Amino acid sequence: MQSFFGNKQGRPTAVSTVTVKKKVTVRPAAPPLPGLPPHKSARAGPSAPRPKSESRLRVPSRGSSPRPKSAGSASPARPRKTPAAERRVLPESDDSEEDALDAFDRKRPRLAGDGVTPDAGDVDVGRKVFCPSLVDERGEFGRGWAGFVSCEEAVRGEVRGWAGGQKGSMSKGGRDKYIPYFPQPGFENSDPIPSVDLRYPSGAVEKFILLTPHSASEYNPISELKAALGMILKHYIPPSHAHIFGTLDASDYFESAMPSRLQTPTSLSTPPPDGASPLPQTQQETIGEALRRALAPNRRDGPGFVKAIQRFNVALADLQEDGTLEAWLTSRDYRISRSEWSALINVVHDSAYNRVVAPFVEQLAHHPKHPEAVAAAISEKEDSYGELGNTFMSKVIEQTGLKPDSVFVDLGSGVGNCVLRAAVQAGCASYGFELLPVPSHCARRQLREVQRRWAMWCLDGNLSVECHEGDFRTHPEVRRRLTEADVVLVNNEVFPSSLNMDLTHLFLDLKEGATIVSLKPFVPEGFRMNESNCDSFAAILRSTSHQYFSDWVSWKGDGGRYYVQVVDRTQRVKYEEKMNGRRSRG
């Protein structure tokens, strides 16, 4: 055989001969499978052993090929040396290829939990958040639920008592906006109106109307009832009673009670139940399973739901009477993460908002009494009224480190959402100041309703909460609260420049280390201290910029930036010392 590169000099090619002997082992044929003919049996071995054979391979000689010869050549070539940087020695092992590769790379992959900082939302709250021993109906310790606005009042649009307000102040309501949720007889939108009582962890009882609204923008008692049940089952039931109560997660509301077609029934003689016939209730069925089955969209079993709620109320009352519930909520073993704590507060505060603030939404959105400068500024925005969302405020609490001994001040507090959230989520003293009459009225209403709801849920919110009406530039309480403040929030996105300048004068009273959170910065972009600006307010601030997202605010559909500014007068002092040193040397 000629070389692959040819024989340029025409000389005969030297041929080497290598003899290779192949050894063949004969395996006996496998026995045929029982019940099958011989030609359908399992794979059979060879009928006769293959004869031993010899094969001759012709390998080109050294002179005819630039490649080194293999073993067995008449004149073996010297093996090529591998450079030191490329030479690798495999371990002598019969293990898998992965073990061999591991010899080259000794870096082990990091496990998911090794050295990884957990998400801030998964960190434990780190303080006592429940106070079951301090709540009662009349509020002996300032934590009572008597007089709360009921679900029935919200559905009928006839809020009475302290929250009734003036005639005509409420938006038009009534049962004509609602339709039946359960299809069974007795659950129609007629008298007597279908309802069920829900027992809260404190022992308070509220009647929920079993109707659903025509429009998604209306108050939905069924959704609120589901959310309340889910939170109680998840955060209030001790592990020793989990087998009785079970759980009711948000995803369970949409799960079908029908068995999956992929599941094989244990008995072919018993067909799976259809949507019209209720599933048999067993002793092992938890309360959560009974609720989930009754609320399934393809079932909506009204009578079954009422029975499950009654069973829930009785079981919860037993936990309250024997002290098991209080012992669990105040035990050292109880844990609730920041994200779970925030979600629980959302449910409680949304209940209050839907009852006493939502009826004023139209008046809030089209407020007729803005000052001229503010009215001119907000006319360029997508909406004339906006609120900071729960996620935004939770992020502020996390970033600023608000805690029970802190003081929070909100300038331009609107209906009081952020003020109330800081008081319960961080447990700190909280004060709000709002110029406009309608938001101020809603804030006072919401404050009273939220505090009643805290008592119903045994939440340990700070009772040092105030919502004031008036211009924060001249209000007598503002200066006193600012001197105490650890965190000041100001939603100044629509404030004119003159109002922001007035704020800088007020902030001169802030203590060292106080934090200002704003939607417009008080430190200009690219600010560097020099002789011309060293006496400005920006010279005593350390500012960082952060992003918020589209669902964090209500007045626009996209995100934006907000600014966290910390009062730090030391940098101004250092600059002055530096300048004095230069003058002395000059």
Domain boundaries, the chain: 132-258+282-345, 359-581
pLDDT at 421: 97
d(CA 153, CA 162): 13
Contact of 28 with 44, CB cutoff 8 Å: no
Least confident of 368-377, 393-402, 425-434: 368-377
Residue 392: its H or E element: helix 390-400
434 is in an annotated binding site: yes
408 is in an annotated binding site: yes
pLDDT at 109: 35
pLDDT at 530: 83
The pLDDT of 130-151, averaged and rounded, is 93
The pLDDT of 87-113, averaged and rounded, is 39
Residue 310: its H or E element: helix 302-321
The pLDDT of 285-313, averaged and rounded, is 95
386 is in an annotated binding site: yes
122 is in an annotated binding site: no
Quick one: 166 exposed, middle or buried, by C-beta within 10 A (0-12, 13-18, 19+)? exposed
Q: For the chain, give the mean pLDDT.
A: 77
415 is in an annotated binding site: yes
431 is in an annotated binding site: no
Contact of 351 with 138, CB cutoff 8 Å: no
Using a pLDDT cut of 90, give the percent of the chain over it.
Answer: 53
202 is in an annotated binding site: no
The pLDDT of 383-406, averaged and rounded, is 88
pLDDT at 98: 40
Helix axes 437-457, 338-356, angle to 10 degrees: 130
411 is in an annotated binding site: yes
551 is in an annotated binding site: no
pLDDT at 306: 97
449 is in an annotated binding site: no
413 is in an annotated binding site: yes
Give which of 358, 350, 325 is closest to 453, Cα–Cα: 350
pLDDT at 21: 52
- Choose which CATH entry (2.40.10.220, 3.40.50.11900, 3.40.50.150, 1.10.8.350) describes domain 359-581: 3.40.50.150
Confirm whether pTM is higher than 0.75: no
Which of the four pLDDT bands, split at 50, 70 and 90, describes residue 13? very low
pLDDT at 31: 53
471 is in an annotated binding site: yes
362 is in an annotated binding site: no
Q: Is the pLDDT of residue 527 over 90?
A: no
More confident residue, 312 or 48: 312
The residues near 248 (Cβ < 8 Å, ≥ 6 apart) are 226, 229, 230, 233, 234, 288, 291, 292
Residue 439: its H or E element: helix 437-457
Q: Which of 145-159, 165-179, 325-339 has the highest mean pLDDT?
A: 325-339
Residue 209: its H or E element: strand 205-209
412 is in an annotated binding site: yes
What values do phi and psi take at 311, rounded to 5? -65, -40
User: What would the pLDDT profile of 456-473 be if each residue is shown by its tens digit?
Assistant: 999 999 999 999 999 999
More confident residue, 84 or 454: 454
pLDDT at 528: 84
pLDDT at 550: 85
Least confident of 57-61, 263-267, 428-432, 443-447: 263-267
The residues near 115 (Cβ < 8 Å, ≥ 6 apart) are none
466 is in an annotated binding site: no
Q: Is the pLDDT of residue 534 over 90?
A: no
pLDDT at 364: 85
pLDDT at 277: 46
Contact of 173 with 157, CB cutoff 8 Å: yes
d(CA 328, CA 334): 7
User: What would the pLDDT profile of 72-99 be if each residue is shown by its tens digit?
Assistant: 444 444 444 444 444 444 444 444 444 4
416 is in an annotated binding site: yes
104 is in an annotated binding site: no
